[in-house]
Amino acid sequence: MSPRHIALAVLVAAVWGLNFVLIHIGLDKFPPLLFCALRFAVVAVPAIFFVGPPRVAWRWVLAVGVVLGVVKFGLLFLGMHAGMPAGLSSLVLQGQAVFTALFAVVLLRERPGGQRLAGLAVAFAGIGLSAVDHGLGGPLGAFVLVVLAAVAWGLSNVLTRKAAPPDALRWMVWVSAVPPLPLLGLSLLVEGPDADLRALRDITPAGLGAIGYVGLVSTLFGFVAWSFLLRTYDAIAVAPYSLLVPVFGMSSAWLLLGERVSPLAAGAALLVIAGIGITALRPGTLAAAAWRLPRTGSRRRAALAAARPGRPD
């Protein structure tokens, strides 16, 4: 990836990391499925009337809309509402990088090299260390919901790569038009019309701000940029950058929600960043560097030997 696109991937990770704090705020104001429906509604309406058709087969729009919008975000919001802390949720959700790689191997026939696998291993060692530090802070059911959300995100990454939309903005607007009605129907069925009406009637500036951020900033900007990266590069190359999301998620949860960041968690974050760095290097760079080190020393010794006066026979 070019340096400019690496910077874009890191920025998206920062936006998505802070997103967990805003989700936490929004879930205090709205039932989770209603909040999720409103998130996508602000992206899709009225944009679909101005951007034109998506320029990809409708089956891909529907598939990604359901998998990403209804399944992934529905499960994430339900899991956080059920007790998963914001920082821990940002961490667990990054299991999507493994699921993306698995789905990419099966569906796209991509093959990760040894260096990229090593980088993923280092990064996930950091995630594991952070998970040990945090512990399972929420109920087991909430934890499982977020893990399943990570599976859905991994699948949606690969489906987006397969769809190869030529216009990321138009693509995200139409994908966002799919979830609101299914999510609203589920909300009415599961959460009840009284809870939905009460939340809408008593809406606050904090609630409006949460909807605006998770809808326009996190969803529209974040996924437009992410879709562009997935269209430009292999899914296995892009997905590891999402491992930076828990670094930003944990730090913003510490700053804004008072969730602790211990020295163990800081060490975990460093491992994640190191793993991302390994995957970002051109394949074979580490092996080439390791191969050159002893040769460089040998050449220096040979040059010094050649510079010495020769001994008589």
One-letter amino acid at 294 equals P
Residue 205: CB atoms within 10 Å: 7
> In this predicted model, what pLDDT tens digit does every residue of 34-77 receive, in sequence order?
999 999 999 898 888 888 888 899 999 999 999 999 999 999 99
**pLDDT score for 312:** 39
Rounded CA separation 214/199 (Å):
17
> What percent of the chain has pLDDT above 70?
87
Q: Using the predicted structure, report yes or no on whether residue 282 has a pLDDT greater than 80.
A: no
**pLDDT score for 96:** 80
* DSSP-assigned letter for residue 95: G
**Burial class of residue 212, CB neighbours in 10 A (0-12, 13-18, 19+):** middle
> In this predicted model, what pLDDT tens digit does every residue of 89-132 receive, in sequence order?
888 887 787 788 778 878 877 777 777 788 778 877 877 787 77
Is cis: bond before 46, omega within 30 of 0? yes
242 and 272 Cβ atoms separated by less than 8 Å: no
**pLDDT score for 113:** 75
Residue 35: CB atoms within 10 Å: 25
Q: Which residue has the higher pLDDT, 3 or 284?
A: 3
Helix axes 3-27, 205-212, angle to 10 degrees: 150
> Which residues 6+ apart lie within 8 Å of 130 measured at CB?
91, 246, 250, 264, 265, 268, 269, 272
Q: Using the predicted structure, report yes or no on whether residue 219 has a pLDDT greater than 90.
A: no
Predicted TM-score (pTM) above 0.85: no
Tokens for 171, please give them. Answer: 């693509």
**pLDDT score for 134:** 62
Confidence of residue 183 (pLDDT cuts 50, 70, 90): very high
